[in-house]
Structure 1
Amino acid sequence: FLKSMFTMYQISTGDAWGSIIARSVLDYEHESNLFNFGVGFFFVSYMLLVGMVLMNIVVAVLLDEFITMVEREKEEARVKFKAELAKQNSKHFNQLPLDPLLAGLVEFATIHELSNRIYLLYQRLDLDENGSLNLQEINEGLRKINLPHPPRLTQEDFDMLTMGRTLLDEDGELTPYNFEKMILTQLDSYVRRKMVGALDTIEDENSRE
């Protein structure tokens, strides 16, 4: 029985089964003047079944498991990367103080129109009409503008918006030119954050489908 099992195993591996096993059977039948068709049919059918069918099934199962594992690892890596990216950019993509004001500036036909609207906004905020803005003036002006949720800037917000106070003049106030530069910078950030949010929403909807 053990020899038979080893023989069948050797046939399934294809290890010289034709020259050692099949040839031995043929030589034995030739010497004994006997030919058993059933023996030949058994070995040939066994070789076809095991060597060409079952082995391919085993390889296909292993390959499928490997592909599934690779896809799972890729998905885990993608989720981990998105989580890390969201963590790193969470501060950048959070709502910023001027977002309620910027929402009314995103729709414009030309850059000239946008520049005029920013200048008109500057004039509305310049309550004392001295040609410059400080933190107190901006907060008072924002309160008088008809906004759903008028923002109130802190000193930290003001320093951040003015790029570490680099946009302020020697009196610590904003000129019309630097005010426009500040608004354009914040508007660019606002649009980018809105685009990222929209793309994330679309991706979440597609993943649920």
Structure 2
Amino acid sequence: MSEAIKHLEQKEIILEKDNKTLSSANKLLMESIGRLVKLNDKQQEILENVVDNINLLKNELEDTKKENLILKASFGNSLENAQHPFINKHSLDTVETHNLLLQQKIVGLEKQISQNPILSKVVHNLQYDDEQVSKLKYTNNTLLLQNRLLKEQLTNFRNLHYQAVSEYQLNNMLNVNVGNQQKNNIIISHMDMNSLNQNELQPLKVNVIGSDVEDNSY
């Protein structure tokens, strides 16, 4: 019984150590998840800012295209009315130059929108971080389950340990009580034998009454 108790105590120590290790690992994982969530929130904010900037660029592009169409129409009308006294070559050159600038601006805006490295990088990082967070959450849930199972196993071992110790102590008490009872029985038996021997060895006493004895002297 004592060997079984020692084995249970050793098993209890091992389980407590494993439980402590798992708790520490779980704490580190929770901290890592917290940092990743903060990073994810920060990147989400960056992404939203980039999207807002792209929307502004798109609006500017649309406005520039409209302005360019108006300018083209004005330029066409100017060519048709080249003989007008208020239209000169300098004005036409200015309109054409402005048109070229608008065309270049349109091309630049379209390129900036379609090939935005910040946006693609942020989206890639967000997808990568989401995958990493999911893996860490899965690992964390697995460790939490193992931790709970170890705690239940540790509780069962403690209950078994307490039961074994109680039975061991109860058996010791019963053995002591039986031993004391046997000793008491031996003492009582010995006292009975002494009393019996004393009664057997005691001489028989006969009481003689004088008036009942006949006098034969006559």
TM-score (norm 1): 0.38
Q: Higher helix proportion, which one?
A: 2
Of structures 1 and 2, the larger Rg is shown by 2
With CA pairs under 8 Å and 6+ residues apart, which has the higher RCO, 1 or 2?
2
TM-score (norm 2): 0.36
